[in-house]
């Protein structure tokens, strides 16, 4: 039997090895259009960054080694041009000589893989525009970096390869901007989980531009154009927009394809032609969870398909490839992200309804026992059905993520459910796990939901219907110093039984703690006493991940004062060390508070923690308790901070005139007042002032997006939204508006006189670093949500405005 295999990277390379092991006498010919076979394309980004130091390490094996070991003929740089099904013959071109020739076959295996999508836009072929898919691709990128010494890089696409490429370019010393057309990175993740990753990327120094489409280049590839009109400067640009199946020869041969160009195969990997088989990225597979047809380009499934198809080709024993569940993992700087099965987005597209067809378990466990050094946090999102069947999972964390996703994937494969996750007996020792493994915890929460012990709500549910719930913060008061959810009532868990009389059984309570455990306990207390209560999934940590600041690494919080000559004696002070690694909230903050209380004013303590909440909380805690955060940093899942007891005021007292901060409260929504506000703001910023603009009531209309997404609202909110101006372009004048004619006239005059429009003024203010905050209370009253506001606007309450006022030497109410 003569077998021709087309493509020799993943599935094809596995298939030829097993073909030979099963049949010593078969004639096997491998045709590969590239120069190399069986190379580690998943390792290419790490060669760029230097994690993989030797180029030869990218090759799993060599052409010569395979030929010698398996007695197989391999022809590299030979591409199949066409297939003659009737005569069982392929036409081939040898790129080394330019010769075209034909070969007959008894069985043909297509493992042609996929290729990066390259958009047809201006400037796509410039010398500094690259794709990253093959060894020649990485050679070209590596050589360009070594010779041209680029400083700025742009990565187009925020999937697995895009994120790995961004990380490795950053590790190479480049300033990196990542552009992604969707509103999140890493498509297999849901948006709430992707936000954790986005925060980490930004903290590491990668600039993210989400919701931005690539629209070509100009200036010889040095300027990247985006569909929004923005332009970026780039010395090197890597395209990672997605992949397309290499199914051209299959299509020309008349093989059956799906709408995306994937080759349709049966469970034995046979195509619509009985003598032609196909494996890998080029084929359509069954979705393990939903049972629908899909395409999932992953190396693991490709290799398993290659192994199974060999037996089927030789008719030795029928082997089936069942389906693909999409188990995947990636390193992104210090974090690891992993997924398996369906995400919430895909379920919703299939018509699934939350709390009707599926539920969510969201937990924040540590990688191993917290009391053993080096324990690091992870977030597990488990999606499951009404009967407990596991539909999918996503995990983002620092350590042990791969182990947990593999446990869940194995449970899915053997048709296990959330009750099985609870019951799994997993290896335990303090350095490796906890007596209750993180996977067990995810299962416990899921079973509690199914058994009706808890009726949790998501932050999105709370956001969509805030008027329905009264929010309770059951954390300890020392934790609340660092911040609370808007309009939350403080009622620590330790006090809730004694203060139960303060609660109203006619209200519905949404409860949160740091990560969810105490929230669940509070929910159980209230429910058993006749109250309607819901635990907020993920607690305050998830709230901060999604809504809060992502600033973990303000390395110069008070550095100017810390290093000034006036305070040089501080360097001689003994710095006390406090290690709170492994402790979860509120542990770190509580221990810091106790340690600070034992210090004398001016003394310094250095704290090391692994709780991400600590990294965000410590700055607010220091400000609110009259202490000074001198330095903070984050590295490989550990967060450190230097805190001095008491406030540093010497510098400000000696130079009170150095305060240069302005706060403007924008109450009116008139065009002329908006223009004046932004002219003042940009002028103040240009003079070196820090400028805060707080928008409330009618002023919120200035910040509305022109084409805002649809948001679910109640009747009154819809009415307010309809009556308010739809965007800054719809604002009227405070005087002489004349049914909108006045606005058009003043805009024309401004254009004729070369004065920037309001929209340009807003953009200029953002570029100048003007801080724009929308009043949360006013948004609730006016029926507006954050999604309807322009990018870059923060949401805050009156406390935010008053804090800015306190720091300002000029306050304006407009």
pLDDT band at 72 (very low <50, low <70, confident <90, very high): very high
Average pLDDT over residues 686-698: 86
pLDDT at 260: 95
Question: Within 13 Å of residue 481, how many CA atoms lie on the same side as its CB?
Answer: 21
Which of 400, 340, 328, 459 lies closest to 610 in space, CA to CA? 400
> Other C-beta atoms within 10 Å of 395: how many?
27
pLDDT band at 658 (very low <50, low <70, confident <90, very high): low
b/e string for 420-444 if b means 16 or more Cβ within 10 A? ebbebebeeeeeebbeebbbbbbbb
The rounded distance, in Å, linking the Cα atoms of 537 and 517 is 10
Average pLDDT over residues 424-429: 96
Question: Per DSSP, what are the bridge partners of residue 293?
Answer: 286
Of 165-179, 287-301, 344-358, 712-726, the poorest mean pLDDT is in 712-726
CATH says 2-115+245-314 is which class? alpha beta
Which of 66, 11, 106, 23 lies closest to 311 in space, CA to CA? 23
Token representation of residue 144: 């360009």
Which residues 6+ apart lie within 8 Å of 227 measured at CB?
Answer: 212, 213, 214, 215
Average pLDDT over residues 318-335: 94
Cα 550–42–288 angle (5° rounding)?
A: 85
Strands 532-535 and 107-110: unpaired
pLDDT at 311: 94
Measured on CA atoms in the order 469, 475, 478, 483, is the torsion positive or negative? negative
Strands 231-233 and 236-239: unpaired
Question: Per DSSP, what are the bridge partners of residue 604?
Answer: 575, 644
Most confident of 245-259, 478-492, 633-647: 245-259
Token representation of residue 700: 């919120």
What CATH architecture is 659-813? 3-Layer(aba) Sandwich (3.40)
Instruction: Give yes or no: 42 in active site.
Output: yes
Average pLDDT over residues 5-25: 94
| Domain coordinates in residue numbering, the chain | 2-115+245-314, 129-241, 334-450, 459-546, 559-652, 659-813
Render 611-670 in DSSP notation, one character per residue.
-HHHHHHHHHHHHHTT-EEEEEEEETTEEEEEEESS---HHHHH-GGG--EEEEEE----
**DSSP code for 709:** P
Average pLDDT over residues 211-232: 95
Cα 632–633–638 angle (5° rounding)?
A: 120
Q: Which residue is associated with the tokens 């335990």?
A: 428
Phi, psi at 719, each rounded to 5°: -65, -45
Question: CA of 44: how far to CAs of 49, 165, 281, in Å?
Answer: 9, 9, 18
Question: Within 13 Å of residue 742, how many CA atoms lie on the same side as its CB?
Answer: 12
Question: Per DSSP, what are the bridge partners of residue 267?
Answer: none
Phi, psi at 165, each rounded to 5°: -65, -45
Q: Candidates 3.40.250.10, 3.40.1110.10, 3.40.50.1100, 3.30.300.350; correct CATH number of 459-546?
A: 3.40.250.10
Phi, psi at 414, each rounded to 5°: -95, 25
- Region of 326 (left: φ > 0; alpha: ψ -120 to 50; beta: rest) is left
Token representation of residue 331: 């390193």
Length of the chain: 814
The third-level CATH classification (topology) of the domain covering 334-450 is FAD/NAD(P)-binding domain (3.50.50)
Catalytic member of 42, 513, 585, 775: 42
Residue 763 has pLDDT above 70, yes or no: yes
Q: Starting at the edge strand that comes first in sequence, how are the strands of the sheet with 532-535 ordered?
A: 489-490, 469-473, 508-512, 532-535
pLDDT at 613: 67
Average pLDDT over residues 129-154: 95
Q: Are 803 and 693 in contact (CB under 8 A)?
A: no
Question: CA of 543: how far to CAs of 215, 258, 377, in Å?
Answer: 34, 41, 16
Which of 83, 116, 82 lies closest to 245 in space, CA to CA? 116
The 10s digit of each residue's pLDDT in 537-587 is 999 999 999 986 544 444 333 333 333 333 444 555 678 888 888 776 667
What is the Cα gyration radius of the chain?
30
pLDDT at 788: 86
Average pLDDT over residues 666-691: 87
Of 54-63, 120-129, 399-408, the poorest mean pLDDT is in 54-63
Helix (H) or strand (E) holding 694: strand 690-695
Q: Are 474 and 522 in contact (CB under 8 A)?
A: yes
> Other C-beta atoms within 10 Å of 713: how many?
17
Which residues 6+ apart lie within 8 Å of 704 measured at CB?
Answer: 724, 725, 726, 727, 728, 784, 788, 789, 790
Distance of CA 737 to the CA centre of its chain: 45
3-state DSSP assignment of residue 28: strand
3-state DSSP assignment of residue 784: coil
Strands 99-104 and 89-94: antiparallel
Burial, 797: exposed, middle or buried (Cβ in 10 Å; 0-12, 13-18, 19+)?
middle
Which of 589, 494, 592 lies closest to 540 in space, CA to CA? 589
Which of 534, 463, 508 lies closest to 712 in space, CA to CA? 463
Q: Are 606 and 562 in contact (CB under 8 A)?
A: no
On the question of a common fold for 2-115+245-314 and 334-450, the answer reads yes
pLDDT at 648: 61
**DSSP code for 377:** B
Residue 59 has pLDDT above 70, yes or no: yes
Q: Are 585 and 645 in contact (CB under 8 A)?
A: no
pLDDT at 554: 42
Q: Which residue is associated with the tokens 């198809």?
A: 309
Average pLDDT, the chain: 89
Q: Bigger pLDDT: 572 or 374?
A: 374
ω into 586 cis (within 30 of 0): yes
pLDDT band at 659 (very low <50, low <70, confident <90, very high): low
3-state DSSP assignment of residue 409: helix
Q: Which is the CATH superfamily of the domain at 559-652?
A: TusA-like domain (3.30.110.40)
pLDDT band at 403 (very low <50, low <70, confident <90, very high): very high
The rounded distance, in Å, linking the Cα atoms of 254 and 267 is 20
% of residues, the chain, pLDDT over 70 = 94
**DSSP code for 100:** E
The 10s digit of each residue's pLDDT in 76-116 is 999 999 999 999 999 999 999 999 999 999 999 999 999 99
What CATH architecture is 129-241? 3-Layer(bba) Sandwich (3.50)
Q: Which residue is associated with the tokens 């919430």?
A: 344
Cα 751–754–760 angle (5° rounding)?
A: 70
Question: Within 13 Å of residue 80, how many CA atoms lie on the same side as its CB?
Answer: 29
Q: Are 447 and 390 in contact (CB under 8 A)?
A: no
pLDDT band at 303 (very low <50, low <70, confident <90, very high): very high
């Amino acid at each position: 039997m003569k077998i021709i295999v087309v493509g020799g990277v993943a599935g094809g390379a596995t298939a030829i090895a097993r073909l030979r092991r099963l049949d010593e006498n078969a004639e096997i010919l491998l045709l590969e259009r590239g120069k190399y076979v069986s190379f580690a394309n998943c390792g290419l980004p790490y060669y760029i960054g230097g994690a993989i130091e030797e180029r030869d390490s990218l090759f799993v094996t060599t052409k010569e080694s395979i030929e010698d070991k398996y007695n197989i003929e391999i022809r590299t740089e030979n591409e199949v041009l066409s297939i003659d099904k009737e005569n069982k013959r392929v036409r081939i071109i040898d790129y080394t000589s330019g010769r075209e020739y034909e070969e007959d076959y008894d069985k043909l295996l297509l493992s042609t893989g996929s290729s990066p999508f390259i958009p047809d836009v201006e400037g796509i072929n410039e010398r500094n525009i690259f794709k990253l898919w093959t060894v020649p691709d990485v050679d070209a990128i590596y050589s360009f970096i070594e010779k041209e010494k680029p400083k700025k890089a742009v990565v187009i696409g925020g999937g697995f390869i895009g994120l790995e490429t961004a990380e490795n370019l950053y590790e190479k010393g480049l300033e990196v901007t990542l552009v992604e057309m969707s509103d999140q990175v890493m498509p297999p993740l849901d948006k709430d989980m992707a936000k954790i990753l986005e925060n980490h990327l930004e903290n590491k120094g990668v600039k993210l531009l989400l919701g931005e489409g690539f629209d070509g280049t100009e200036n010889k590839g040095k300027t990247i154009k985006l569909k929004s009109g923005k332009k970026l400067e780039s010395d090197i640009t890597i395209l990672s927009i997605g992949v397309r199946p290499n199914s051209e020869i299959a299509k020309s041969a008349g093989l059956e394809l799906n709408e995306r160009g994937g080759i349709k195969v049966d469970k034995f990997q046979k195509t619509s032609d009985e003598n032609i088989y196909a494996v890998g990225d080029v084929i359509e597979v069954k979705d393990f969870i939903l049972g629908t047809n899909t395409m999932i380009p992953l190396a693991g499934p490709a290799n398993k398909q290659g192994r199974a198809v060999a037996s089927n080709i030789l008719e030795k024993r029928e082997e089936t490839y069942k389906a693909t569940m999409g188990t995947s993992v990636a390193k992104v700087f210090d974090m690891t992200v992993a997924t398996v099965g369906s995400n919430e987005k895909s379920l919703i597209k299939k018509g699934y309804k939350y709390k009707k067809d599926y539920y969510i378990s969201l937990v924040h466990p540590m990688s191993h026992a917290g009391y053993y050094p080096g324990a690091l946090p992870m977030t597990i999102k488990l999606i499951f059905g009404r009967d407990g069947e596991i539909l999918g999972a996503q995990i983002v964390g620092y350590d042990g993520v791969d182990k947990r996703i593999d446990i869940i994937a194995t449970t899915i494969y053997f048709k296990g459910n959330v009750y099985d996750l609870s019951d799994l007996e997993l290896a335990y020792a303090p350095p490796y796990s906890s007596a209750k493994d993180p996977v067990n915890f995810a299962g416990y929460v899921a079973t509690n939901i199914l058994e009706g012990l808890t009726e949790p709500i998501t932050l999105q549910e709370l956001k969509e219907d805030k008027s329905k719930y009264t929010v309770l913060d059951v954390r300890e008061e020392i934790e609340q110093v660092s911040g609370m959810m808007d309009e939350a009532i403080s009622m620590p868990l330790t006090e809730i039984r004694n203060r139960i009389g303060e609660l109203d059984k006619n209200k519905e309570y949404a409860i949160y703690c740091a990560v969810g455990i105490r929230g669940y306990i509070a929910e159980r207390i209230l429910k058993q006493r006749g109250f309607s209560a819901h635990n907020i999934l993920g607690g305050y940590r998830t709230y901060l991940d999604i809504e809060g600041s992502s600033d973990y690494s303000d390395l110069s919080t008070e550095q100017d004062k810390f290093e000034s000559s006036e305070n040089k004696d501080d360097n001689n002070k003994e710095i006390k060390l406090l290690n709170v690694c492994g402790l979860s909230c509120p542990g770190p903050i509580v221990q810091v508070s106790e340690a600070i209380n034992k210090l004398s004013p001016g003394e310094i303590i250095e704290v090391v923690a692994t709780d991400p909440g600590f990294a965000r909380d410590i700055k607010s805690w220091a400000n609110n308790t009259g202490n000074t955060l001198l330095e903070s940093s984050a590295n490989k899942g550990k967060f450190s901070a230097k805190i001095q007891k008491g406030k540093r005021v010497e510098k400000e007292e000696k130079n009170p005139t150095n305060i240069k901060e302005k706060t403007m409260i924008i109450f009116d929504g008139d065009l002329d007042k908006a223009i004046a506000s932004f002219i003042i703001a940009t002028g103040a910023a240009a003079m070196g002032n820090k400028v805060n603009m707080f928008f409330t009531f009618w002023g919120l209309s200035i910040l509305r997006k022109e084409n805002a997404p649809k948001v679910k609202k109640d009747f009154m909110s819809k009415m307010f939204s309809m009556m308010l101006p739809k965007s800054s372009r719809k604002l009227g004048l405070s005087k002489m508006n004349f049914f909108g004619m006045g606005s058009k006239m003043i805009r024309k005059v401004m254009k004729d006189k070369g004065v920037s429009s309001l929209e340009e003024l807003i953009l200029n203010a953002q570029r100048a670093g003007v801080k724009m905050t929308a009043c949360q209370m006013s948004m609730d009253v006016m029926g507006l949500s954050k999604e309807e506001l322009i990018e870059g606007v923060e949401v805050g309450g009156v406390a935010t405005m008053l804090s800015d006022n306190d720091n300002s030497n000029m306050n304006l109410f407009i």
